[in-house]
Every structure is written in structure tokens, then in C-alpha cells.
Amino acid sequence: MSKKLIVLLLSSLLFVGCSTKISYFFLDWAIEWEVEEYVDLTSEQQDKFDIIIESFLVWHRQQELPRYRDQLSLLSTLTNQQTMTPELWLKQVSMAKAHWSRIFDFVMPDLLPILASLSDEQVDQVLTQLKKEQKELIEEYAGKDKAELIIDSDKRIAKKLSEWTGDITDAQKDIIHQANTQRLATLDMWLEYRHEWLSQFEQAMKRRQQTDYFTQQMKLLMISPDELKSEVYRDNVTENTRKFGSMLIALNQTFSQKQRKHFDKKLAELVEDLTELHLDK
């Protein structure tokens, strides 16, 4: 539940089609709505959760938005100066993961007591929803061969790129396709990791009254989940991240003047939005 809330937050900042500022102002409502998909909180739990969200949004606006702004500004410089490298891209991804970790470091001390206070019926609600999502994921990917997975990935990346650059060329679609054909296979390992994560989350929730154990496990699951991944999986993910960076570099070198202008404008607007949100008291 908590992990998906942060995905919602990051998505609202980086990938929404409407104004970032509008999305951010409605973020508290969006989080509340998301939580309701997983569990019906009691009035007391809801009051405590509302306090956490209010405190979190103040902290996030004051402390974290400048970090996002600065990273995006750096990305803009690396892109426009054509100085991005696969290794620098890996560092950018590590920076993004650090954003994630700081969020959980901030909310977990107040969030864990609420999770520990859930009744057995509430825990069943959460687990039922998580298992439903896991089943849907397996069904989505079951039976798809490598060619079908590549086609799906081609479409996703092309759509996302077009949102930042406008219409993309056939040559750029070829770059995306070529990169996807070179990616190391991780689907089975990813699904196995998700299964293990859910299994350990379920065990942690069943032992939520054991404070030390519960705290340790939730930190593992929310802040250091890579520890649940096999070494091969971690290595493949790192290599695929490097390959993705190479693809972005190749695409950047093919941007037309119109695409560059579109990209720069969109990025500048996002940086401006983050700056104004940070300064808005």
C-alpha cells in the first residue's frame, strides 16, 4: 500500500498530462482515494493518517521539490550539451532512488504505528487487493513471448517520448526497437521478486505487533527491497539501465530543432512549476 502511494506521488510530478501544480494541489485527495482501494480506516486511524499526509506534503514541498528541480536542471544541461553518458545516467537513476528512500525515511516512523493498528479484517483487505494486483500482472504477461514483450515496450517508450518531443520519426522508433531487442530478460525474475516481496509483506503484517521485527521488515520492504532480488537480477537490471541510458543518448542525437524546442519547453515548465510549488507558502 505505502509503496504504491509514493509511485502515485512521483507519477503526479513527472508523468501527468495536466499541470504539475494542479496535480500537486490535489495530491492529498489522490492519496486518500488510493488508500481507500486497499483498506477502510477507522476514524481514529484516518485522523492520524491525515496528519501524516499534511506533514509529509509540507516537508516534501520545502525539502524535496528543490532536489527534483535541480536534478531536472542537470538533466537538461546534460541533454542539451550532449554530455550524457550511460554511467551518468546510472547516477541519475541512483539519485531518483535516493528521493524514494528519503520519502520513506520521513513517513515511516508515523506510518508504522497506523499499520500496526490495523485489525485482522483490515489486513485481509490490504492483502486481498495486493494479491489481486499480483494476479492481474501475471495474467497480463502470461503467455507473451519475447517478440510480443518487445512490441509492448516499443509502444510504451514511443508514446512517452512523443509526450516530451511531439511526433517521433521512424528512425527514432527503430532506435527504440533496437534497444529493446538488446535488453536482458528480467520478466520472470521480476515476477518472482514481486511474489517474494508480497510474501514477506504478508508475514510482516501478521507479526505487526512485534515492534522490532515489524519495523525491520518494513524498512527492508520499503527502503531496501533490492536485497530481496537475486544477484543475477540486480546485475541484469543495472545493465538494462545502462542500455536504456545509451538509447536515450542515441535518441537525443536525432532530435530535430522542433523536437528539441518541444522538449526544452516542457522541461523548463516542469522546473518552473517545481520552483513555484517550493516557494509557495
Residues 6+ apart with CB under 8 A from 167: none
**pLDDT tens sequence across 44-81:** 999 998 898 889 888 988 998 899 899 889 989 999 99
pLDDT at position 197 is: 93
Q: How confident is the model at residue 27 (pLDDT cuts 50, 70, 90)?
A: low
Q: What is the mean pLDDT of the chain?
A: 87
Residue extents of the structural domains in the chain: 3-279
Assess contact for 202 and 127: CB atoms under 8 A: yes
Q: How confident is the model at residue 204 (pLDDT cuts 50, 70, 90)?
A: very high
DSSP symbols for 154-197: HHHHHHHHHHHHSS--HHHHHHHHHHHHHSPP-HHHHHHHHHHH
On the question of pLDDT at 263 being above 70, the answer is yes
pTM of the model: 0.84
Question: Interior CA angle at 54 toward 50 and 57, to 5°?
Answer: 135
**pLDDT tens sequence across 72-125:** 899 899 999 999 999 999 999 999 888 888 888 888 999 999 999 999 999 999
On the question of pLDDT at 166 being above 60, the answer is yes
